[in-house]
A = this chain, B = another copy of it.
Amino acid sequence: MDNGESRKNYRTRQQESLENYFRLNPQACVTADELYMHFAGSGGKISKATIYRCLDRMVESGTVKKFLSGGGEGATYQLIDSGNGCDRHFHLKCTCCGAVIHMDCEFMDEFERHIMEHHNFRVDNGRTIIYGLCGSCSSGAKSEE
């Protein structure tokens, strides 16, 4: 498809800041705006356009994944922690409180296998978010919005 070898990736402060952020917060699920705010407050301000462009590059190079946060309020970006984590398990997102549960469980292998064998469909764990209600929200409280 595409060879990145012809691409000369310059190492700029902005890019390093972003990479560094993800390295320090491997499980962070952040929007472009949150990143913008984060760096704006830290003094090392990065323009939004640059954030989007850097994130795009990271998505394309497979460093980061992008998904929609459920409300259409803006895409969320998260580090792809190859070999350890988030691209291997599912995410349960509470539609009430917004909590994200990282579900690392062998049952999911079974789940994937079932879907593959019975429905001829290859599940993309990294992109799939299962919506529902977490324990606290489903047990009682519904008062909060």
Contact = CB atoms under 8 A, between A and B. Distances in A.
Interface string A85-96: 000000010110
Copies per complex of this chain: 2
Contact of A127 (B75, B95, B107, B119): B95
Nearest to A75: B72
A138 B120 CA distance: 9
Given A70-B68, A111-B111, A114-B107, A121 B128 contact: no
A134 interface: yes
A18 interface: no
Given A68-B70, A72-B72, A121 B107 contact: no
A133 interface: yes
Contacts of A132: 115, 121-124, 127-128
A130 interface: yes
Nearest to A133: B122
A115 to B, nearest CB: 7
A92 B121 contact: yes
Interface of A: 68, 70, 72, 75, 92, 94-95, 101, 103, 105, 107, 111, 114-115, 118-124, 127-135, 138
7 contacts: A92-B121, A122-B132, A123-B130, A123-B131, A124-B131, A128-B130, A130-B130
